[in-house]
A and B are shown apart, each in its own frame.
Chain A
Amino acid sequence: MNAYDKVWRWKALVGILVLVLGLTVVFCTTIGPAPVGFVEVLTILLRKLPWLGDFVPRGDWPESYETIVFQMRLARVILAVLVGAGLAASGVVLQGLLQNPMADPYILGISSGAALGATVAMLFNIGSQVLGMYAVPLCAFLGGVITTFSVYNLSRTGNRVSMPTLLLAGIAMGALLSSVTSYVMIMGGRDIHQVVFWIMGGFSGRGWEHVRVLLPYVITGFVVIYFYAQKLNVILMGEEQAQHLGVDVERLKQIMLGAATLSAAAAVAVSGIIGFVGLIIPHAVRLLIGPDHRVLFPASALVGAIFLTLADALARVAAAPQEIPVGIITALCGGPFFIYLLRKRPYH
């Protein structure tokens, strides 16, 4: 195969996925009680684009449509995009680093740490006077990051981190923190419903401020991961071989774990614990396009974004006006699809 063919195929694939994501965003923004159509949303969004927007003519829809799109719907859709992309990207990295296709962003204890942080914040109203609505995301973020950091340091001997130890330490820490969270919930008593809902994950009531919190982490994480994507391929050959192929393995691990942890912890902080996206999206995309991270990473992030955005739309309409936590949808749709893929292509 020619080198340029390969790169062009990658670019075409990513281009198509970006387009699909765009259409998904527009489509999901149309969902809601007010009948704002696809073309109207598309036009409203295009008009907001710098430079290009000046050429798009305004249609004859009520002024309120723009308010509905921007103030009520778009933030939530964009948040789903970012969280989906962040979780899938983080999953790609951890599966690669741990050389284990069953790893996910939560395997190093981010979810249990974040859950504990969020639970404590909700039940004891910690910092809500000062931080307001940021109290829960901040505590969740800190919980996740501190947990992963401890897990990392627990598995470190001198300068080296053994990946199997990291995996086991993550699982042990996760179990420990989950039990602490359960205990806190039992003791906390009255607001338990709120905590359960948060733990299941979802975008209900989230807005632009959450997007602003998440965006820098996701962008930074993505740039860093993309920067090192080729090295991540090499590490799949085994750590010692990767070193012989010129990769500074320990440094790569630190950088990549850092990037994956920050993206995932930030995603969890704003949306709660949405399962399955970080596990099955990278896995499914790898089954379809192969394990080369230079295309696997951007493609997984985009597919994760598309998937979670659609899942959130479904969560909003499936039992309207009641909302279902999006985590239920992701597992419900993702599980069977994943099983289908496994049956269709035996995975090595």
Chain B
Amino acid sequence: MVVLKVHDIECAYGSAKVLNGLTFAIARGGFTGVIGPNGSGKSTVLRCISRVLKPVRGSVLLDEHNLYGLSTLETARKMAVVPQETAVNFSFTVEEVVLMGRSPYLGRFQAEGKKDYEIVARAMELTDTGYLADRLITAISGGERQKVIIARALAQEPEIILLDEPTSHLDINHQIEILNLLQRLNREAGLTVVSVFHDLNLAAQYCKDLILMQRGKIFSLGKPGAVLTAGIIKKVYGADVLVKKHPVTGRPTVMPLARVQPENKPRGRVHVVCGGGEGAAMLELLVEYGYEVTAGVINAGDIDWETAGLLGIETAEEVPFSLISNKSHAENIRLIKSADACIMVSIPFGRGNLKNLEALALARDWGKPVLVVEERDIGERDFTGGQAGLMYNELKKKGAVVFKDKHELLRRLKYLI
């Protein structure tokens, strides 16, 4: 069931249009994150749905009532808002601040009653702020204060709670504590949560749905996995990122890639022979440096294979735990042919991947530079009874350049292409 329904709204500050034609709905029990670059209007969305900034066009329905037709008091009984930060100049105690959450229910001349105190006590218990009750709001830390403000919001007994980057001023421990708290309230008490997020990873971890804003419009809307892709982030934020699945939660995790200035960008196509996770770092570095990268032959499912997939690298692949077949060998050779240089990382050799050494020998025969990272001696990683060692040394004789370290290799690479 829908709690909040926004239809085709347009918001403006003076003559500057900030939101333009937004339509979305928040389901009861939802946990929705609003994300987007600075100035994309995400905080304005929150102001608009919290009855602060009236849209010049369109409608906002709270429980099927026109939000801007409700009184301030009626709204406060259904909806609570937690700002980014609360500065208080007056020394109320924490309990007094949480009691203000009961304000929409108090009559004139009326002090808070037994029921109000019970509700406040429960809100403080849920937010783990009971121990602060008699402390002054001016004398507690920012993280504690934010929890107190959330307790105050809960004391309003709202159906929906709106938060504007509630953790952006806090340390990681408080961020996690507060978001875990919201998640628990969402799951156990069925509280509907809508929050603006600055941090894409926190948004991805905690939200059931995301609304991605760009220049006052919704760019994308849906599950975190669908909204947070490297392509979409590149389009909206203009940033190069790597999106991986969180190893524990399976949610998307966004990692920045260092951007190389275009004028320094090396040009060239490099083929990497890797596998078993030895090549993942090299693949990422090459992509970061701006090379066009291919890889092979890798067994599907291993870490190098997964990394290549994430980075969009064309790969000659083989089914897991199998010898390199003629077909994938041919594919590998095709990729080598079109590369300007080949790199081999310190992979171990068994009978299964000997064909990789053959392919590189061909590359030398065609006069292509072959660069080898030798972090460990070949003797330590030869599991073929000496055959791999022979072929490896043969390759060196044919003029493969050996580096002890991959950064050293990367520094030299641009001169060899």
Contacts and interface: CB of A to CB of B under 8 A. Distances in A.
A191 interface: no
Interface string A218-231: 00000000111011
B140 to A, nearest CB: 11
Interface stretch (B24-32, B94-102, B179-187): B94-102
Given A226-B109, A246-B103, A291-B91, A3 B52 contact: no
A246 B108 CA distance: 13
Contacts of A133: none
A182 to B, nearest CB: 34
B72 interface: yes
Nearest to A157: B14
Interface string A238-269: 10110111111100000000000000000000
Contacts of A240: 52, 83
Interface of B: 50-52, 71-73, 75-77, 79-81, 83, 86-93, 95-97, 100-101, 103-104, 106, 108-114, 116-117, 134, 136, 138-139, 152, 156
A294 B111 CA distance: 9
A292 interface: yes
Contacts of B114: 3
A129 B240 CA distance: 84
Contact of A3 (B50, B87, B111): B111
Contacts of A236: 88-90, 92
Given A226-B109, A248-B71, 5 more contacts: A3-B114, A244-B79, A244-B81, A248-B72, A291-B90
Nearest to A294: B111
A291 B72 contact: no
Nearest to B85: A238
B92 A292 contact: yes
Contact of A244 (B76, B106, B116): B76
A244 B50 CA distance: 8
B76 A245 contact: yes
Q: How large is the interface on A (under 10, 10 to 19, 20 to 34, 35 or more residues)?
A: 20 to 34
Contacts of B116: 3
A348 B109 contact: no
Contacts of B95: 1
A56 interface: no
A230 B110 CA distance: 8
A234 B116 CA distance: 16
Contacts of A247: 72, 103
A290 interface: yes
B87 A245 contact: no
Contact of A243 (B52, B86, B87, B89): B52
Nearest to A348: B138
B86 A237 contact: yes
B109 A6 contact: no
A99 interface: yes
